[in-house]
């Protein structure tokens, strides 16, 4: 991950307004626009963007900051979804159910994290993929029937409440990623990513830092799963365990810019808009184009969209100075 | 006892297919040092070529191996030229991660292409002699399964002979061991990588052809087979190519036993448990001599 060297956000005095300004504009847009248009497809689109941002941030905490490529995030998403939904349907207040779902995902992550982190790189990826897929198959065989909201819940269903929750989650996740990066822990986590041996030698407890990143990542992925379970009226219980959710989270982090806080936000917006456009126009093959697009991004643009921004900025500076 | 033997035998037969699928993945992992998540998609494509040969040409599934193998070998060559060639030249950690990501994306492409071309319906090949076989003291050994096991053993031996005794095989092993020295010794490692990848794809295709008449075929089966192959190569140990066969047999037997004596729905969990157990206790693998 040496290509993405923007680690700590730096604020130059002259442009101190830029980041808060951008955040304020983005937030104002996210709050005002859907309310003004007030159409179901706009609520939906904005919901998906927020969910995508939350998932991308979550994956990025582990994959971008700590450098541990997980291919099993769908497991955390699925656990969050299934636990939130079951508790909620059985009369638990929704927010309590949501939090229990997030905690359950993190607990599960800790259980599988300890053995799989004994292995580096590829094996961690294999281990997480194996765990997620086995979980999916087992859920599919044990819960083969579609899960539908009870009639009373459908009666009081409204899209805006789903969107506000997703927006809240996106903000919370982005905030958490920012705080994590500004905290003391981030030094250890980034150190583990750059060079595990060197970090170990300078006294960083490697496993503890990896587990911290994994745990935080899993909590937010689990919460995202809970929000998904809150939004969907009916789906097969295995659906949130599909590897596509892992892929979505990972792709958003990659497209935006791995290891940055703003990357997943940009990636999430870009990803969802492009996907929805492609899905609307080319229903059958949109996944094909998407997969191909991702392959091209990994091969040609390892820094994501932020790299285009950085490159063009550097180019502009060079032109000005001349 | 009889049902125990029957479970054991069927476990071995299933394990033979896991073994050959994993051997292809292990070969690619060991030589190119990349992890191909799209390996299961190659199994799936091989299955579709075999299904096509059966449904349009009416060929016996064992006969159609002669077109399935070259077809997917060529697919492997093309994929290596278009995609994997760009990754194998990267270094270390970066290379393995990028290979995971790229092949994940490629798997998505192949799966959805198959979905668009062949529809999502489940397919399978039924041969006229499907139910027949040897009956030894009440334990049934179907011909199809025996032939599968036989072909897997022959292919394993042939691969062993190829890697140890022939010049191109030795070049592959030399590249696996130290690609820089191999290159200095005059081996065209670009070509070795290409051939190895295609060989791995061909092995996946053989497994795919067995899937058509043992299980059923659908565009979405790829991930399941990638996963099985990965569990097997972790069990076998990194760098152990032929160790994939005994490890595959082990996984097949464990799954069959768990399915018969614990619960059918938790069959997959048994495989996962031994996978995690081996990761913790013996991360270098079961079939590696140190």
pLDDT at A218: 95
Share of chain A above pLDDT 90, in %: 34
Contact B265 A130 (CB under 8 A): no
Interface test with B, best of A129, A192, A248, A301 (most B CBs within 10 A): A129
| In contact, B235 and B253? CB cutoff 8 Å | no
Residue B245 located in a structural domain: no
- Residue B162 belongs to some domain of the structure: yes
Across the interface, which of A129, A243, A299 has its CB nearest the CB of B86? A299
- Which of B101, B269, B276 is the closest to A298 by Cβ? B101
Q: Judged by CB atoms within 8 Å, which residues 123-142 of A form the interface with B? A: 123, 125-127, 129-131, 133-134, 137-138, 141-142
Residue B280 reports pLDDT greater than 80: no
According to the model, what pLDDT value does residue A128 have? 85
Mean pLDDT (whole number) for A310-314:
80
pLDDT at residue B76 is higher than 70: yes
Average confidence (pLDDT) over B149-171: 94
Distance between CA A100 and CA B63 in Å, rounded? 56
CB contact under 8 A, A291 and B102: no
Q: Is residue B164 part of a domain?
A: yes
User: So what's the pLDDT on residue A307?
Assistant: 78
Grade residue A2 by pLDDT with cuts at 50, 70 and 90.
very low
Q: Flag if B109 and A291 touch (Cβ within 8 Å).
A: yes
Residue A122 forms contact with B (CB below 8 Å)? yes
pTM above 0.90, yes or no: no
d(CA B18, CA B266): 18
Does residue A130 register a pLDDT over 90?
no
Number of domains in chain B: 1
- Nearest chain B residue to A195 by CA distance is B93
A149 vs B150, residue with greater confidence: B150
For chain A, the average pLDDT equals: 86
Q: Cβ of B101 and A138 within 8 Å?
A: no
A285 pLDDT higher than 90: no
Closest chain B C-alpha to A133 CA, distance in angstroms:
8
CA atoms within 13 A on the CB side of A247: 23
Residue A165 has pLDDT above 80, yes or no: yes
* pLDDT tens by residue, B8-64: 999 999 999 999 999 999 999 989 988 898 999 999 999 999 999 998 888 888 888
Q: Which residues from B are below 8 Å from A137, CB to CB?
A: 224, 268
- Whether A207 and chain B come into contact, CB under 8 Å, resolves to no
Q: Which of A102-106, A143-147, B185-189 has the highest mean pLDDT?
A: A102-106
Tell me the pLDDT band of B227, cut-offs 50, 70 and 90.
confident
Q: Rounded CA gap, A148 and A89, in Å?
A: 10
- How much of chain A, in percent, has pLDDT values that exceed 70? 93
pLDDT above 60: residue B157: yes
Q: What is the ipTM of this complex?
A: 0.77
Question: Which of A248, A221, A209, A237 lies closest to A105, judged by CA?
Answer: A221
pLDDT for the residue numbered A290: 81
Using alpha carbons only, give the angle A144, A150, A228 rounded to the nearest 5 degrees.
65
DSSP B206-249: HHHHHHHHHS-B-GGGHHHHHHHHHHHHHHH-TT-STTHHHHHH
Domain that holds residue B160: 18-125+150-228
Query: Is residue B204, in this structure, part of any structural domain at all?
Result: yes
User: CB–CB of B227 and A129 under 8 A?
Assistant: yes
Question: Measured between CA atoms, how close is B22 to chain A, in angstroms?
Answer: 14
Is A5's pLDDT higher than 80? Answer: no
DSSP lists the bridge partners of residue B140 as: B135
Residue at B234 is within a domain:
no
Inter-chain residue contact B265 with A141, CB threshold 8 Å: yes
Q: What own/partner pairs with CB < 8 Å and gap ≥ 24 does A43-49 have?
A: A43/A159, A43/A160, A43/A162, A43/A163, A44/A159, A45/A272, A45/A273, A45/A276, A46/A163, A46/A166, A46/A167, A47/A159, A47/A162, A47/A163, A47/A166, A47/A231, A48/A272, A48/A276, A49/A170, A49/A268, A49/A269, A49/A272, A49/A273
Tokens of B215: 């299980």
Name the residue facing B104 among A2, A115, A247 (closest C-beta): A247
For helices A243-256 and A40-60, give the axis angle rounded to 10 degrees: 80
User: What pLDDT shows up at residue A8?
Assistant: 55
For B278, half-sphere exposure in the C-beta direction (CA atoms, 13 angstrom radius) is 24
* CA dist A154 → A38, A78, A97, B36 (Å): 19, 22, 18, 44
- Asked whether the beta carbons of residue A123 and residue B100 sit closer than 8 angstroms, the reply is no
Q: B226 to chain A: which residues are within 8 Å by CB?
A: 129
Contact A270, A319 (CB under 8 A): no
Query: How many CB pairs below 8 A link A and B?
Result: 118
Dihedral over Cα of A123, A124, A127, A129: its sign: negative
Q: What is the pLDDT of residue B181?
A: 92
A18-22, B18-22, B227-231, range with the lowest pLDDT: A18-22
Q: Does the distance separating the beta carbons of A295 and B105 come in below 8 Å?
A: yes
- Percent of chain B having pLDDT more than 90? 45
Structure tokens at B64: 């159609």
Choose, out of A295, A296, A302, A304, the residue to mutate when testing the contact with B (most B CBs < 10 Å).
A295
Q: What is the mean pLDDT of residues A204-229?
A: 93
A251: distance to nearest CA of chain B, Å? Answer: 9
Domains of chain A: 13-321 (1.10.3470)
């Amino acid at each position: 991950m040496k290509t993405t060297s923007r680690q700590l956000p730096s604020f130059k005095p002259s442009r101190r307004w830029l980041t808060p300004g951008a955040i304020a504009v983005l937030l104002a847009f996210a709050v005002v626009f859907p309310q003004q248009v007030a159409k179901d497809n706009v609520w939906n689109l904005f919901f998906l963007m927020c969910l995508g941002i939350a998932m991308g941030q979550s994956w990025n905490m582990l994959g971008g900051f700590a450098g541990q490529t997980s291919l099993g995030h769908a497991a955390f998403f699925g656990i969050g979804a299934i636990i939130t939904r079951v508790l909620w349907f059985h009369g638990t207040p929704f927010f309590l159910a949501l939090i229990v779902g997030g905690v359950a995902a993190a607990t599960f992550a800790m259980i599988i994290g300890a053995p799989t982190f004994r292995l580096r790189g590829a094996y961690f990826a294999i281990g997480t993929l194996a765990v997620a897929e086995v979980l999916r198959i087992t859920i599919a065989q044990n819960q083969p029937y579609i899960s539908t909201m009870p009639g009373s819940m459908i009666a009081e269903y409204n899209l805006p409440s789903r969107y506000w929750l997703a927006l809240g989650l996106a903000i919370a996740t982005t905030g958490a990623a920012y705080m994590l990066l500004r905290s003391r822990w981030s030094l250890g986590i980034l150190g583990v990513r750059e060079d595990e041996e060197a970090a170990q030698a300078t006294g960083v407890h490697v496993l503890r830092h990896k587990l911290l990143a994994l745990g935080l990542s899993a909590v937010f992925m689990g919460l995202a799963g809970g929000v998904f379970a809150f939004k969907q009226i009916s789906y097969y219980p295995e659906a949130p365990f599909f590897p596509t959710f892992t892929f979505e989270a990972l792709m958003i982090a990659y497209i935006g810019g791995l290891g940055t806080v703003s990357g997943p936000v940009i990636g999430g917006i870009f990803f969802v808009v492009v996907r929805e456009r492609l899905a609307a126009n080319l229903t059958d093959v949109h996944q094909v184009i998407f997969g191909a697009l991702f392959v091209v991004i990994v091969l040609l643009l390892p820094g994501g969209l932020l790299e285009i921004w950085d490159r063009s900025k550097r180019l502009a500076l060079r032109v000005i100075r001349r | 006892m009889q049902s125990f033997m029957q479970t054991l035998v069927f476990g071995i037969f299933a394990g033979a297919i896991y073994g050959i699928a994993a051997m292809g993945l292990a070969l690619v992992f060991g030589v190119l040092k990349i992890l191909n998540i799209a390996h299961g998609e190659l199994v799936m494509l091989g299955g579709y070529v075999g299904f096509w040969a059966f449904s349009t040409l009416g060929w016996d599934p064992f006969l159609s191996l002669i077109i399935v193998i070259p077809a997917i070998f060529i697919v492997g060559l093309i994929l290596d030229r278009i995609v994997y060639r760009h990754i194998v030249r990267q270094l270390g950690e970066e290379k393995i991660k990028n290979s995971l990501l790229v092949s994940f994306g490629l798997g998505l492409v192949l799966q959805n292409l198959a979905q668009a071309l062949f529809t999502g319906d489940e397919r399978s090949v039924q041969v006229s002699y499907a139910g027949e076989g040897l009956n030894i003291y009440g334990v049934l050994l179907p011909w199809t399964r025996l032939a599968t096991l036989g072909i897997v053993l022959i292919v394993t031996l042939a691969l062993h002979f190829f890697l140890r005794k022939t010049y191109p095989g030795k070049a592959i092993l030399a590249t696996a061991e130290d690609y820089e020295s191999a290159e200095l010794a005059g081996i065209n490692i670009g070509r070795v990588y290409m051939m190895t990848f295609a060989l791995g794809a061909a092995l996946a295709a053989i497994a795919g052809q067995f899937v058509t008449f043992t299980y059923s075929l659908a565009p979405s089966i790829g991930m399941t087979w990638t996963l099985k192959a990965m569990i097997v190569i972790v069990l076998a140990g990194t760098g152990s190519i032929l160790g994939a066969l005994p490890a595959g047999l082990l996984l097949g037997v464990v799954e069959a036993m768990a399915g018969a004596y614990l619960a059918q729905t938790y069959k997959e969990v048994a495989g996962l448990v031994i996978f995690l157990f081996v990761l913790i206790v013996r991360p270098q693998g079961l079939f590696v001599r140190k």
